[in-house]
Amino acid sequence: MTITKRQLPKFLLFAKNPTLSGRLMLIGLAMTLVFIFLAFFSPVFQNWGWLQNPKEFLSNPIHQPPTATHWFGTSRLGYDVFSRTIFGAQAALQVVILATVLSMTVGVPLGMVSGYLGGRLDKVLLFLMDSIYTLPGLLLSVTLAFVVGRGILNAAIAISIAYIPQYYRVVRNHTISVKTEVYIEAAQAMGASNWVILSRYLFFNVIQSVPVIFTLNSADAILVLGGLGFLGLGLPEDVPEWGYDLKQALEALPTGIWWTTLFPGLAMTLMVVGLSLLGEGLNEFVDPRLRRQNRK
């Protein structure tokens, strides 16, 4: 008995015969997994002696170029740049995951309720979300960071507010198109409550595009966190963070100290590129029309 292509799971078929975007998605997935691995195991590597404590600097020479002892060199305070770069992935992932989960947790239910119930509630929420959406994300995050202060959770809250309207708008539009389907009308005719319809019939139909938004927002959140750190509004100074390290490094760049700027900036760039490629590939996987266009 042979299995036809139609019987294969859609993702396996997509992975077996990927388009260019599919191949780039796999590259982005590999890049993202590398950073997740480094962030998760950085404390283990520190205990093994492979990484130095990123908060220790007194015993290190200042502004030493890359050597066998300090692979990425040292900073103006004597920090080991390699250890700071690896541990910076940990802080970035913590803030990014918290920020995107918070915005998704708020935006998805609001979009479903607004699109399904409609009426005055829909108009009020739509006006509120459009008002937030018109503000530049970095400017809004900077303003909120002034209010909530520094810290991983505070930075995540400041960043997450800007992403709520994106989840809301996409889920609301999908809900409006799905709620007119026959099975929704049948459930209403049988007396199903709004909660049952939203949770059982609508949720799994409108949630398909959320992973795409999640990955793209994650990439953007890394840049926003870097901006907050560069302005001194992100994480505490003793927490390794790429944006803050770049701020400290730029002061020495005109004197030829290039390594303290290159490696944190390169790590941030690679992580953003990996998440962006992953998000674009997921977008093609979710939308069959894009797959057909890319195969032509």
Residue 59 lies in a domain: no
CB 204 within 8 A of CB 74: no
Residue 16 pLDDT: 55
Residue 136 lies in a domain: yes
CA distance from start to end of the chain: 31
Phi, psi of 80, rounded to the nearest 5 degrees: -80, 115
Residue 178 lies in a domain: yes
Residue 15 lies in a domain: no
89 forms beta bridges with none
The yes-or-no verdict on residue 34 having pLDDT over 90 is yes
Residue 272 lies in a domain: yes
73-118 confidence digits (pLDDT tens): 888 888 889 989 999 999 999 999 999 999 999 999 999 999 988 8
Residue 228 pLDDT: 92
Residue 16 lies in a domain: no
Average pLDDT score over residue span 12-18: 53
Q: How confident is the model at residue 236 (pLDDT cuts 50, 70, 90)?
A: confident
CB 222 within 8 A of CB 275: yes
Residue 54 lies in a domain: no
174-232 confidence digits (pLDDT tens): 898 888 888 888 888 888 788 888 888 888 888 877 888 888 899 999 999 999 999 88
Q: Give me the CATH number covering residue 127.
A: 1.10.3720.10
With a pLDDT cut of 90, the percent of the chain lying above it is: 34
Residue 64 DSSP one-character state: P
248-260 confidence digits (pLDDT tens): 888 888 888 899 9
- State the total domains in the chain: 1
pLDDT, mean over the chain: 84
Residue 11 lies in a domain: no
Please state, as a whole number, how many other Cβ atoms lie within 10 Å of the Cβ of residue 295: 11
Q: Which of 290, 284, 248 is nearest to 265 (CA)?
A: 248
d(CA 281, CA 30): 13
- Predicted structure pTM score: 0.84
Q: How far is CA 152 from CA 95, 195, 239, in A?
A: 6, 34, 9
SS3 state of residue 184: helix
d(CA 225, CA 96): 8
The residue range of the domain holding 209 is 21-47+70-288
What residue has token string 């220790």?
Answer: 56
Tell me the Cα Rg of the chain: 23
Distance of CA 46 to the CA centre of its chain: 26
Residue 2 pLDDT: 40
